[in-house]
Each structure stands twice: as C-alpha cells, then as structure tokens.
Structure 1
Amino acid sequence: MSLINVANLTFAYDGSYDNIFENTSFQIDTDWKLGFTGRNGRGKTTFLNLLLGKYEYGGTISAQVGFEYFPFHVERKEMNTIDVVENIYPDYEYWILARELSLLKVGEDVLYRSFESLSNGEQTKVLLAALFLKENSFLLIDEPTNHLDMEARKLVSEYLRAKSGFILVSHDRAFLDHCVDHILSINKAGIDIQKGNFSDWWENKQRQDQFELAENEKLKKDIKRLSEAAKRTSNWSHEVEKTKNGTTNSGSKVDKGYIGHKAAKMMKRSKSIEHRQQAAMEEKSKLLKNIESADTLKISQLVYHKSRLAELDKVSVVYGGKAVCEPVSFTIEQGDRIALLGKNGSGKSSLLKLICGEPIAYDGTFRKGSQLKISYVPQDTSHLQGNLTDYARNSGIDESLFKSILRKLDFSRVQFEKDISAFSGGQKKKVLIARSLCENVHLHIWDEPLNYIDVISRIQIEELLLEYKPTILFVEHDREFCDNIATKLVELS
C-alpha cells in the first residue's frame, strides 16, 4: 500500500480564463478500486492526463507508483493481436496473458488474428488484459464500457471486482456498483472522495443536497426577517433622534440625554441585527455549491392517429444473403418504451435503421404506419460540426428550446460559442438527444444514446421519459436505465 498525494492542484488550459482545478487537495490509497464520476466536461480525463504528466500544473502530485492509461493507442491495427500486446508491454509472460484472457472469456486464438478483425468488445478485453500485465502501476481506466454489450459489461465488472489499484471512469451505475469500493467525484466546488460504491455515494449526495436546500430556505427566511427588523429599528432610531429638539405634549422640554441614550440603544440593536444578517448571508453562501443543476426537462410528442405505429413479424436482417439474427416479432404501440437487447453484432442497429426507413434487406413482414414521423439518434457523432445556432436552424427545430435543454444538461454558455466538433463525446451525444427532444414526431428511436453521457444527465433523461412517457424504441447497454425505463424488452439472438 502507498499513497498518491495531490496538494493544491491548480490547472487551466492555455487561453482559458477558468481553472478546471483550483487549490485542490486529496489523497488516494493505491489499493483502492476507485470509481471516478462527474458531469461531462468537468475534467475527469484531464485529471488522468495530469497524473500521466502530460500537462504543466500548479501544486504537487506525488506518488511512489507509475501510471498506466487505458485505452492504449494502437498505431497499426493490421498487426496480429499478439504483436499489439508485445508493443504495449514487451516483457510480458505469455501464461499470464493467457490467464487474463481466460478470465475475460476470450480465446487465445484472437492473439493470432489481426487486431482490426476483432470486434470492439474483443479489442477492449484484449487491451484490458494487457493493462493488468503491468506490475507496480496504478491503472487509469477511462470508460471501458462504451463498446461493450450488457453481457460483456457484467463480465468485465466481475473481472475488475477481483482487481485493485485503479481509477475507473464510467457512467454506468450498475457497472460501478459491482466493482468499486470508493468514489472519486468531481463536483462543482472541487473533488470529493467517499468510501463505498456509486449507490452509496449517490444516496449520501442526495441526503447532503436535501440538507443544504432546507438550510438554504431557512437562512433565506432568517435574512428576510432580520432585514425587515433592521429596517424597522433603524427607522425607530431615526424618528427618536428627531424628537431631541422638540417638546413634549405638555409643552415642557424633552430630556435630550434620555432620548439620545434611547436612540443609541436602538442603533446598537440595529447594528447587532445587521451583523446577524451578514453572518446568515455568509453561511448561506457556503451552501448549494455542489448541488447540480438537474431541472426537469420538458418535451411534447405528437399523437398518432392509430394505437399501433409499427409491426414486425418474424423479421431478420439480411447481409450478403444471410440472416444475421434469429427472426424477431414485436409491435410498437402508442406509449411503449421498448428496449431492444442483444449482443454486439446481433442486428439491433440494423433493425432500428429499417424502422426508420433506411434500405435494409430483411426477411419476414414489416409494416409501418403511413405518415409516421420518427426522430432518430444514431451512435455516430462524427458528422457533428458548426455552431449550435446553425445546427438548430438546419435541423428545423426551435433554437431557444434546443439551447434551454442543453443548459439543463449542464452546458455552460461558453459552449454555445464553440464549434460542435470541439465538444467532448458526451456533449456531442447531448446535442443529438436535445435535437431529438425538440422534434415534433410520433416515435423516438435512439441507438445507444447514453455513450459518454454523465450519470446525472442520465438520471435527468430517465426522469423525463418516465414523466412524459413518449413512445420510444431504444438500444442501450446501461442495465439500470433499461430496468427503469422499459415497458417492453425485445431480445435478439
């Protein structure tokens, strides 16, 4: 066991006026299994790069271990996989590599195939196995679940559960719950570490948020009451002071000394109230610093003239004259929230595209309602470019509503001035989802919408779908999201 000490860490990117980290201090035990969470754009990957020594920063980071980052960059994907592993770690022992691959349910035969011929899931598992070949290193694992289906995520979480000494960046709640024992969170006001899994951290955060909101309301009332009391006392003091030069009702002169004493006493009371008011305001300013903006999102969906929107009867997608999945049958009724499940490569995305109207070859019977309007969110975000104003106009959606949704999904106003191509992966996904929510349609079809999206935004999107109950067909490997949202499950084999 050793410690990683971070003291007074301060960092901003060149040309930026805002610090991502400012005088941040904490300690990490190298035996911990740390889940790393926080809103998109808060600096999770930046912090990992600071540990790797990629940027200059203020403060100190001291550690008695080296750091290794996942995913490794593979320069020549046409190479055999075993050569890719050797480039990553030349001193590896084959039997250890074979053991790690076995734990990840990957056959040794993949080592003698080109790396580019492996599925995304197989590539992820091979690189994870290579990562754990290295000894005396603290491992920085950055979003390993994005190319894993639900079954593979469960397997990898079991694998990581048996390991220790890593930071794991993931937005999948069930995945984090199963394999971490501490949570490192980047909040609005800094970095926090808590013992336990994600559910423990989330419960504590909600409890703290509720306490701060209650205290905030109490202090607002106190400040208002004290402000009114200070104003009344000041007015009384002023009125009494004015009587110093007057006379009593009987015509005799007033006692100036008594009145002066009374005015001074009132003024002293007024000052005391002001001090209490200022103290209450200072106490209030300490609250709500870590409460995330999680306002309710609002959408409205068009109502279709029939209850049934589409029907698939023994449909299977065909590539090169061959069916890639077993025939599947299901209907899409108004109000359904359907999760389409299955392993990577089972044809889920192709079925979504078929329903959207793309020319996909298939066997079986497929019927879709006439004049059915569909909003589609694809997996791929690489086509996104230009500014948000132009994107909204070209998409035919209301710009103010579009930007309002993005604001509620934690976009700062600075983001509105940037080119979308410069956004993070999670921010690009939010752009696609916000556009979809603005479109006047009968059916939403989303293909892995949550890739790279932070946990709090996922919870917001869940709450939206549960409140407004739009008709939606989606593919998503976040098990908790599927469990919470879906009214129907359709599994491809």
Structure 2
Amino acid sequence: MMSMIQVENLTFSYPSGYDNIFENVSFQIDTNWKLGFIGRNGRGKTTFFNLLLGKYEYQGKIKSSVQFDYFPYVIADKNRLTEDILFEICPFAERWEIIRELSYLEVHEDVLLKLFSILSGGEQTKVLLAALFLNDGHFLLIDEPTNHLDAKARELVSAYLKNKKGFILVSHDRCFLDGCVDHILSINRSNIEVQKGNFSTWYTNFQQQQEFELAKNVKLKKDIAHMKQAAQQTKSWSDAVEKTKNGTRISGVKADKGYIGHKAAKMMQRAKNIEARKQRAIDEKSSLLKNLETAEDLKMKPLLYFRDTLASFSHVTPIFHGKDICQPISFEIKRGERIALDGKNGSGKTSILKLLMGQSIEFCGEFSIGSGLIVSYVPQDTSNLTGLLSDFAENNRIDESLFKAILRKMDFTRTQFGKNIEDFSSGQKKKVFIAKSLCEQAHLYVWDEPLNYIDIYSRMQIENLIKEFSPTMIFVEHDAVFRNTIATKEVQLYKK
C-alpha cells in the first residue's frame, strides 16, 4: 500500500540563525521511492533530516505514517561486539538475516564477533546499513555514507541500495547516485523540487533550466536597466516639481507659490506613485531568477619546479605498529602529472601523502623529494578547525581577502564570515581547506580526499579549475567522475 510523506508550508530557522533555512516549503514523496537528496553545502539537507526525526520545532506540517531511522546510527559504546550492536538496531531480525544482508555487501560474518571499534570505516558503514534495512516498515534517512568507502565499496553499496526501497540518500557522488536512486529531491536557491529519474536525468533537466534562466537573465537585465533609467527620470521630474513648489525661479521668473502650490502637490504625488510602481516592477523582475545557480571560475597560481622529477618512491612500504601496510610501491611524480592514488581503505594511501608532507612516518624502501619543493596540503580531517575565517587566514599566512573571495565563489554567503568555523557544515569546512590551498603558490598540491562532503556544483567547479591550470598533483579521491576527469596517471596500492 502506497504511503506518502507530506511537507506543507515548512518554515524553519535556528534560534541563533540569520535567515530561514526553509520558508513555506511544500512537497510530497512516496515511501517506496529511492530518493537522492542533493543541494549546495549549508542549504539544509541534514537539517531537514533532523526535522523529520522531530529534533527541532518548526512552522508548517510534516505528515507521515512511517518511522524514520537515521544513518549514521549513533552508537554510545563502540567497544562492544558488532553482533550486540546490530541486534540493538534491529531487535526483531534473525541472525541468518543479518548474515544474508552482510553477504550482499561482501562482508564476512566473522565481523559479528569482533569489537565494532576495530572494524574499518567501510565495514562499519556496511554493517550499519545492513541492520537498518532489516527494520521492516521503517524509512531510512542516509546521510553521506560514501565518505568512508573506497571505490570498490562504493560500487557494492550502490548496488545494494538499488535493490532496496524507502530511503532518502544524501550523496554528492554522481556515479553512486546514478547507480541506486529513482527520484531526486533537490534543495534549490528558493525551493525544494522532486523529480523522477537518477542524477544524470536530473542534471540534464537542470542544465536546460539553467540555460533558459540565463537567457531570461540577459533580457531581464536589459528590462531592469531601462526601468531604473525611467525611474531616475521620474525622480528627477519629481525633484524639479518640488523645487517649483518651494518658489524656485523658472526661466528667470520666480514662480507664485499660491498659483502653483495645489497643482505642484498633485504632480508630486503622481510622480511618487509612478516611481513606486516602477520600483515594484524592478523588484518583481529581479526576483524571477529564483533558481539560477552560479559557479564562478576559480583560479590558482601553481609554481613551476626547476626539475622534471619532484619526488621518487622506490619499493616503499609504510609501516604501522611494526607491520607493513601494503606491498612495496615504486613511482615518480613528474612535473605536470596529476596522480590518483588508488587502493582499498587501509592500504597506505594517506601514509604516502604524509611522507610527501614531511611528517614522521615509519617506512622501508627509498623515498626522495626535491630540494626547495613547496607543497600545499588538503588534509582528510577537518575536526581541528575552530575560530573565525580571519583567524584561520592569519594563522596560515594566506591573504584574507583572496581567501574569502574564493569562498564566496564556492557559495559562501557573507554572513558565514562572521560565524565560527566549528559551526559550519561538513562540506563548508572542507571548502575552507581547499580555498587555503588555492591561495598558496606551490610546486605540488597534495590533496587527501578533498571532495568529502563537497556539493556537486563545487566538484564540477574544482574539476574545471584543475583542467585549466594543470597543477602538479597527487591525490586520493574515490569519486569516480572526478578521478577519471582529473588524473593523468593512477598508482595502485595493494594491502599486504
């Protein structure tokens, strides 16, 4: 039987917020749909999930007959057997059902008898999803599950979700979305829309709408310019009338106040009415471009290294707790290359990047890096970000004006500049590190999963930037579209 989730005239803002996150939003969705949920960072995707979960008070109505579950499931004590945690999540499931779901995700049942805390991030994601989907009749709110999944795991989870129904999935990975959703829920600049199809279908329609809005924008700008000019002429006329009312000389003869006073007042009122009508028309025309998304071109200034080879790895194996992480790896970073490090989670990708950053990493083999090489780094972890953006710029010795200009191009509003970074969304925090890197002139750009939480528009913006300026890069990124678009070479790491 079909069940609907109905949202009517939803309005919400945080108590300390500057603006409404949602304003008179209405739409409805079928609980059998597989919904991809997309939108710019900071537009309110996680907030909407919290509203469905009843965590905040709001104006309007949300009607639903289903119970909502949230991923990632919050676990108070991770130092327990995985099996115990899963039965806490889905108390009515049989053990064989859990094992069946895990097999679909290529997770061996041995994990059930391990402490949850020692599972990899990818394993934790898979077992939690398996358990949550065993709650019959529940509707699952899945918030960015791909951030701990390598490329292979993303394919597996996407295929798993394709065979499920009844969920809303927040993800910015275009291939992942295409593989598992049948509807798109998009948060636009001024509304929320529901559309049938996968991400690619939605994006084709979105581009057509953008082209229409851009064409309309050209015409509206001309109309608005003409209206403003006419309004200014009207204002000049009303100012001239005001002067005659005050007895200003006209053609050398002082006007008689008593003669023109009454007539001037009527002319003045008429002028003001015309001016008000024209201003309303300007405002109305200006508001027509309600969902036009802009993504200005970004810029960077990479430095040219004086040698062809920037760094060299020969039979290098990172070591963790006395054990080799991966099989020995050999490669060079040549000037102009953009190298994608690929491999399963735990295969040593981040360790290789940290070696390039001069961090103390135990390894065997030979590693060398060019003298005087300037490196710019985007780390995977954003949890240490605190304070204002101005403090961050000063502490990192980057130009504050340029830094904030880049963030504006990446869809930051000016009000964000007055907030503490710890209050930013996860995607906005990641953009802080990317903007910092773009401010830095470097020979080599080392980016560790730069796109975690980053919205789709900004991903495309960054792809265009790298294609235009061709910096020398080495990066880890599991977004298949980004990797295929950007990388000139792939280096594969294999676990021991």
TM-score by length of 1: 0.89
CA distance in 2, matches of 1:200, 1:276: 41
- Structure 2 counterpart of 1:420: 421
Q: In 2 relative to 1, CA 279–217 (structure 1 residues): closer, same or farther, beyond 3 Å?
A: farther
Asked whether the equivalents of residues 301 and 441 of structure 2 are also in contact (C-alpha less than 8 Å), the reply is yes
CA distance in 1, matches of 2:224, 2:12: 36
Secondary structure in structure 2 of the residue aligned to 1:426: helix
- Structure 1 counterpart of 2:125: 124
- Structure 2 counterpart of 1:326: 327
CA distance in 2, matches of 1:234, 1:399: 41
CA distance in 1, matches of 2:487, 2:391: 34
Q: In 2 relative to 1, CA 318–73 (structure 1 residues): closer, same or farther, beyond 3 Å?
A: same
Asked whether the equivalents of residues 36 and 185 of structure 1 are also in contact (C-alpha less than 8 Å), the reply is yes
Secondary structure in structure 2 of the residue aligned to 1:290: coil
- Structure 2 counterpart of 1:464: 465
Task: Report which stretch shifted further, 76-85 or 320-329.
Answer: 320-329
- Structure 2 counterpart of 1:175: 176
- Structure 2 counterpart of 1:5: 6
1:270-419 map, 5 Å: 281=282, 284-419=285-420
Asked whether the equivalents of residues 216 and 284 of structure 1 are also in contact (C-alpha less than 8 Å), the reply is no
Secondary structure in structure 1 of the residue aligned to 2:172: coil
- Structure 2 counterpart of 1:241: none
Task: Report which stretch shifted further, 301-310 or 394-403.
Answer: 301-310
Superposed CA RMSD? 2.5
1:428-439 map, 5 Å: 428-439=429-440
Q: In 2 relative to 1, CA 64–309 (structure 1 residues): closer, same or farther, beyond 3 Å?
A: same
Asked whether the equivalents of residues 5 and 62 of structure 2 are also in contact (C-alpha less than 8 Å), the reply is yes
CA distance in 2, matches of 1:235, 1:402: 42
Asked whether the equivalents of residues 235 and 275 of structure 2 are also in contact (C-alpha less than 8 Å), the reply is no
Residue 286 of structure 1: CA displacement? 3.8
Asked whether the equivalents of residues 227 and 282 of structure 2 are also in contact (C-alpha less than 8 Å), the reply is no
- Structure 2 counterpart of 1:141: 142
Q: Which amino acid aligns with 1:9?
A: L
- Structure 1 counterpart of 2:88: 87
Residue 225 of structure 1: CA displacement? 5.3
- Structure 2 counterpart of 1:184: 185
Residue 364 of structure 1: CA displacement? 2.4
Secondary structure in structure 1 of the residue aligned to 2:56: coil
Asked whether the equivalents of residues 219 and 280 of structure 1 are also in contact (C-alpha less than 8 Å), the reply is no
Residue 279 of structure 1: CA displacement? 8.8
Secondary structure in structure 1 of the residue aligned to 2:179: helix
CA distance in 1, matches of 2:377, 2:213: 40
Secondary structure in structure 2 of the residue aligned to 1:152: helix
Count residues with an aligned counterpart.
463
- Structure 1 counterpart of 2:251: none
Residue 15 of structure 1: CA displacement? 2.7
Q: Which amino acid aligns with 1:490?
A: V
Q: Which amino acid aligns with 1:466?
A: K
TM-score by length of 2: 0.88
Q: In 2 relative to 1, CA 2–360 (structure 1 residues): closer, same or farther, beyond 3 Å?
A: same
Q: Which amino acid aligns with 1:459?
A: M
CA distance in 1, matches of 2:417, 2:231: 44
CA distance in 1, matches of 2:389, 2:304: 28
Q: In 2 relative to 1, CA 346–228 (structure 1 residues): closer, same or farther, beyond 3 Å?
A: closer
- Structure 1 counterpart of 2:203: 202
Q: In 2 relative to 1, CA 123–371 (structure 1 residues): closer, same or farther, beyond 3 Å?
A: same
Q: Which amino acid aligns with 2:22?
A: F
Q: In 2 relative to 1, CA 44–156 (structure 1 residues): closer, same or farther, beyond 3 Å?
A: same
Residue 411 of structure 1: CA displacement? 1.3
1:453 matched to 2:454? The reply is yes
Q: In 2 relative to 1, CA 475–66 (structure 1 residues): closer, same or farther, beyond 3 Å?
A: same
- Structure 2 counterpart of 1:56: 57
Asked whether the equivalents of residues 220 and 286 of structure 2 are also in contact (C-alpha less than 8 Å), the reply is no
- Structure 2 counterpart of 1:109: 110
Task: Report which stretch shifted further, 422-431 or 311-320.
Answer: 311-320
Q: In 2 relative to 1, CA 107–227 (structure 1 residues): closer, same or farther, beyond 3 Å?
A: closer
Secondary structure in structure 2 of the residue aligned to 1:363: strand
Runs of 4+, deviation exceeding 6 Å: 226-236, 273-280
Residue 313 of structure 1: CA displacement? 2.1
The answer for unaligned runs of 5 or more in structure 1 is 239-269
Asked whether the equivalents of residues 227 and 274 of structure 1 are also in contact (C-alpha less than 8 Å), the reply is no
Residue 224 of structure 1: CA displacement? 4.4
CA distance in 1, matches of 2:229, 2:181: 51
Q: Which amino acid aligns with 1:288?
A: L
Asked whether the equivalents of residues 226 and 274 of structure 1 are also in contact (C-alpha less than 8 Å), the reply is no
Task: Report which stretch shifted further, 20-29 or 308-317.
Answer: 308-317
- Structure 1 counterpart of 2:481: 480
Residue 16 of structure 1: CA displacement? 2.2
Residue 431 of structure 1: CA displacement? 0.8
